[in-house]
Each structure stands twice: as structure tokens, then as C-alpha cells.
Amino acid sequence: MNRSIALAVVVFTAASLSLAERAAAKVPPDEKVRIAAEVYEELLNVPEREVPRELVQEAKCVAIIPGVIKGAFGWGGRHGRGVLTCRTSAGSWSPPIFVTLSGASFGLQIGAQSTDIVLFFMSERSVRSLLKSKFTLGGDVSVAAGPLGRSAELGTDIRLRAEIYSYAKSRGLFAGMSVEGARLAPKQELIDKYYGERIWPDEVLFGRGVSNVPVESRRLIEALK
């Protein structure tokens, strides 16, 4: 690839990500949480293509990023904002924090403009790494396409060779989908705005929690049970 083509790729990708990020920013935080609950409920209620029970039961954290947008230039720049919640020491689910998912081209080659992403984290360690700084899926942590269907209950070793299992939905159909190369990071300003106070992600997920859990977050926590 010569320099002029390489420069064009960089410019088009940056422009695509910028447009996609602006589109994602238009959705208010409370609406994003509400939509995330709907996406998760839909994923768990797909007839004959359900997520294996072992994976759901053993997951330490879940990230749900509704409406990951493909950039208008079509080079593969994508961006989405969503939520992440973790199991507490008591076994219940924490209130959510907000995260961003972005990347130049991270495996969503299914011809869609908007895709819902669900990530199951099988270790707390990977999430604590995320909270320190944004990291690259498949680089800093191992990620694999999540299994679907009843045959996966017996045919897949859920104990656990990947730290994260990923699912994507486009055109009404969920499938296990690789998101290698995507970057995931907490979004502190959205966390502050949503809870009305400065509270750090690790406090929400693993620490003192929040004093007032908004109603849409309570619905999300109920959906995760």
C-alpha cells in the first residue's frame, strides 16, 4: 500500500469513527440503559439459538452496546456506547457503568449499519484491567465468538478458554461474532451525568455502589438475574 492510499485509509477511518461517535452521543444515558435491557432480554429469548446456561451463570460481568454504528464512509469505522455491569460479592448484579466500543474494522462483516453487541466477561480480572485504561479486545484479553443453541450446552467447553464471549445482532438475528481489534473503555462523563455525582467505575461495580439506582437500571439488573 503506497503512502497516498495509506493516508486516505487513515483519513476515511477517522472521519467514519467521528460520524459514528456523534450518532451514538445523541442517545441519552437513561435511554441507552433501557435499550440495553431490551437487547439482553432479546438475546436470552431467541428460540433454538439461546446462549448456553453455563456461560450466563458463570459470567462475572456483561457489557451491552446497542446500536454500534458503521461510519458513513463505509471503510469500517464503527463506534457505540453501552453499559457494563458485574456481579457483586453477594452474587447480585451491580448498577451499570457506561462504556464505549470503537474500532476501524472488528469483524462485523455482515453488511449492516447498526449492530447490537453483548459481551460476557468470564473473569473479573479483565474488567479491572478495562477500568484502568481502554484495552483492545483480542489483544489485551482473549475474545471468542459466543456459542448459541442447545447443542452448545454439551459441545462447547465453557470453562473457559476465552476471557470474553461476544454476540452480535443485525437484521433481527443474533450470532456469535468476533470483535477482535475493537477498543473498549469506560466513559466517565456519562457515569457522572447519569448518577448525578462523581463516582468512579470501580466503586459502582465493585465498591460502595450508588446511593440511588435509577428505575431503568433496576430493570436491567432484573433482566440479568
Query: Residue 223: what pLDDT?
Result: 92
Residue 44 banded pLDDT, cuts 50, 70, 90? confident
Evaluated on CA atoms 213, 218, 224, 225, the torsion sign reads positive
What is the three-class DSSP state of 3? Answer: helix
Query: Residue 207: what pLDDT?
Result: 85
Query: Residue 16: what pLDDT?
Result: 42
- Supply the DSSP string of 101-125, one letter for each residue: EEES--S--SS-SEEEEEEEES-HH
